[in-house]
A and B are shown apart, each in its own frame.
Chain A
């Protein structure tokens, strides 16, 4: 095995890095109660949690894409005033502890929140609903998509778009037939990352949306609850999340490598 000119000793810290992640994951896999797995995974609570997680993550990811792509393109290609401030704010959820994100959502959409009061007058109550779960997930996942798409758009530049305009394509046509297809790889990986983040979202959901089977108790919340009395069930559901996460990562990685190879 060649280390490509790197000093041999870099293998040591690199290996430590792999073990840091690998051993706990392996440890979890070893504790899985394989015999009881089917029963644990198909209980009503588990299925409710899984279905809720999948549909809220899908809805939140869709929301993130619809809002995030225009934002990313504007940030990448225009010189709007305050762009820096906007970018900083949009990337905040990356760094904030999810609980803080949940609190922020509460102060806005909670019953006594900034917008919550107005919404209550209109008869709209967001807290404790599935909508709240979608909001919480979208809040924490948006920066992933914006980062991915903005970076790619910035690198790609607008040369194709300029040529397309001279060929007679109006701005919307250019966006639809040139920009989005060219950004498809970055969009795909950004969407996958966002979806993964939605699936794994916990702190903001718990703080803002609450926890009720079938309504707001997503897979991570279900695991958190099962820990109290049934560690086996918690491990079984953890396995489910690990498998979903791995599948998403593999899907994203495969795309990345193919693109690099095509060059």
Chain B
């Protein structure tokens, strides 16, 4: 408990959210999930904007919310950085960054020193004297990040901080955040939809679905062995969740998927994951070695870089994707609605406990 910067186990029934979240000190956690999954609610519970109906919230070993306990946002030492910079228009950049320290009682001169140091850290020292309306979106967000760091919070919450920026500005700011959060050893929770953000910033990933946490773990683990639909989509792999069927296979509804191994447990939740590139599309069952032949109905075709992604749905409702070259697609003559076969070599499938 004392090692955790944030420990959250709280529910807001009227929003259908019950979330458990632990963030160790010095770590950056990415909080991902579809819209409406409850990510903003989780942040609001942590920051103190929302009071939980049940459960409690602990920050750095101190209870800040729960039956009989309530610490308002301005005393929690948790900074919030939203999608929009929300800089105060009547202060210049340095004044904005100095706002936190000054609110905590630091003198004007010293607060300004702190502000300039933080602006330097995010590469915005030359903007110190400018007003927000003179700054671009990316520059404003840089200042907003510096502002969130200035009061030396125990935890920084970022709600899709790069979502409003164009690709180039986002890339720059991603590096800024990487240096300021991960490399500097600060503790943060970053809500994001972007795989690039997760890869660059996060030590761990927490996946939320329908108001609950469905998966959590180290970034590498979640992305290589996802155990939830959203994580799989984020990682760009096909994921089938079912139970061990023995002999290294996984039964998923009416489909059975074989992994590389010959032996394995029977029963117990299991996951089978394979890359869309490992999938070949056939009209008739091929002979030869592939042991995984899944019958699907084509539900969509879309561009995926230089390849075409064929989306299909099996009879038991499993959604899969296959990436094929345009040439192969042309020779197949596929259209949406057709019944085809997705074929995957067992060697390409990873089977692991779910």
Q: Name the one of A160, A162, A171, A262 contacting B88, with C-beta atoms under 8 angstroms.
A: A160
Interface string of B68-111 (1 = CB under 8 A from A): 00001111111110101010111000000001100110000000
B residues in contact with A168, CB < 8 Å: 74-75, 77, 100, 103-104, 151
Q: How far is the CA of A262 from the CA of B76 in the complex (A)?
A: 36
The answer to whether the Cβ of A63 comes within 8 Å of any Cβ in the partner chain is: no
Give the total of B residues in contact with A, Cβ under 8 Å. Answer: 29
The answer to whether the Cβ of B47 comes within 8 Å of any Cβ in the partner chain is: yes
The answer to whether the Cβ of A178 comes within 8 Å of any Cβ in the partner chain is: yes
A163 x B90 contact (CB < 8 A)? no
Q: How far is the CA of A171 from the CA of B72 in the complex (A)?
A: 10
For the complex formed, measure the closest distance between the CB of B102 and the CB atoms of chain A, giving whole angstroms: 8
Give the total of A residues in contact with B, Cβ under 8 Å. Answer: 20
The answer to whether the Cβ of B15 comes within 8 Å of any Cβ in the partner chain is: no
The answer to whether the Cβ of A29 comes within 8 Å of any Cβ in the partner chain is: no
Q: How far is the CA of A163 from the CA of B153 in the complex (A)?
A: 13
A166 x B103 contact (CB < 8 A)? no
Within 8 A of B (CB), among A142-178: 159-160, 162-171, 173-174, 177-178
Q: How far is the CA of A191 from the CA of B78 in the complex (A)?
A: 37
Within 8 A of B (CB), among A180-213: 181-182, 184
A159 x B99 contact (CB < 8 A)? no
Q: How far is the CA of A182 from the CA of B96 in the complex (A)?
A: 14
24 cross-chain CB contacts under 8 A: A162-B47, A162-B80, A163-B80, A165-B48, A165-B73, A166-B74, A166-B76, A166-B78, A166-B79, A166-B157, A167-B74, A167-B79, A168-B75, A168-B77, A168-B103, A168-B151, A170-B74, A170-B103, A173-B74, A174-B74, A177-B99, A177-B103, A182-B89, A262-B133
Chain A contact residues, CB within 8 Å of chain B:
159-160, 162-171, 173-174, 177-178, 181-182, 184, 262
| Nearest 10 CB-CB pairings of A with B | A167-B100, A169-B103, A166-B80, A165-B73, A181-B90, A168-B104, A168-B103, A165-B74, A168-B151, A170-B74
